[in-house]
Copies of this chain bind each other. A is one copy, B any other.
Amino acid sequence: MKGHKFYAKRNVLITGGLGFLGSNLAARLVELGASVTLYDGLIADLGANFFNIEAIKDRVKVVIADIGDRSAMDHHVRNQDIIFNIGMHSCHLDSMKDPVFDIQTNVVPQINFLESLRYRNPEAKVIYVGTRAQYGRVENPPITETAPLNPMDIYSVSKQAVEWYHMLYGKICGLRPTSLRLGNTYGPRHQMRHAKYGVQNYLMRLALDNKQIEVFGDGSQKRELIYVDDVVECLLLLGEKEHCVGEVYAIGTNERVTFVELVKEIIKACGSGSFVHVPWPEDRKIIEVGDVVTDYSKLTAHTKWTPSTRLSEGLRITAEYYRQYKKHYW
């Protein structure tokens, strides 16, 4: 892994810092000598887990407040060099069942967050973590940054709107935003209490508990699974490269598997579990995006990033982690 000397002594704020991606990023930043502040709203059902930062808890600052809390955010954004803005809910289904929750969690606080930056620290770099789902079902694969936007659930609309808000604050108020439209990510420190989002992680719980995994339909839809350390590496690169400011990036991997192949790999990595095919539930079918095939050549060209963790290896490490720390996750 590269050195990223850039981050030594840098002040870095991570929203959603106690969650899956935020805590993995934090661990790496601490290694690199950054001064890290983790900001988290501890919203029920989302990914925050204090155990995620157990190993680094004495070397980070933790702020528990709503992302839209102007008092808290106005104070904590000051003097930050880089802000990784990760703190949002990511449940497609919940966003359809309760759109008001979606707006109140993913849109309103984000505008307040941007206002804090605008008035207290417009010079900071902001790396926004968007979602591949902003494209929805892509008629002409592969996905690139210029594919038509076709969000298929409330969550994905909100993520697109907030990406635009970031870019506009960049153009109008001098903020320095970059957006990464992230796809399915897996690895240690994901929430494992429910399957409402990050289902690729929840499947491992089922396998480790020797349960039967339900595969909707024939499970032939293609997926790109990105190991969390590869995403962390990508975020670090985006944070340090000035020419990424104002840009949007798609991310993926060239190791594509069908959903049913993924399930088999998980069962293999865990050494337990089984699976069965069941019909598609109506609420899932309607927001299912089909095959995911991403062209991430812009990201590679701008940052030299490529995925480095094979699925089998990533799943092996992940299974080991949850086997060891299971009691902290479910």
Contacts and interface: CB of A to CB of B under 8 A. Distances in A.
A107 interface: yes
Contacts of A161: 107, 157-158, 160-161
Interface stretch (A108-116, A180-188, A201-209, A236-244): A108-116
A151 B165 CA distance: 10
Range for the number of chain A residues in contact with chain B: 20 to 34
Contacts of A165: 99, 154, 157
A253 to B, nearest CB: 27
A100 B96 contact: no
A152 B167 CA distance: 9
Given A99-B115, A103-B108, A157-B164, A149 B152 contact: no
Q: How many copies does the complex hold?
A: 2
Interface string A161-198: 10011001001100000000000000000000000000
Contacts of A1: none
A148 interface: yes
Contact of A111 (B103, B149, B286): B103
Given A99-B115, A154-B168, 16 more contacts: A99-B111, A99-B114, A100-B112, A102-B111, A103-B107, A103-B108, A103-B111, A107-B107, A146-B148, A148-B148, A149-B149, A151-B168, A153-B172, A157-B161, A157-B168, A172-B286
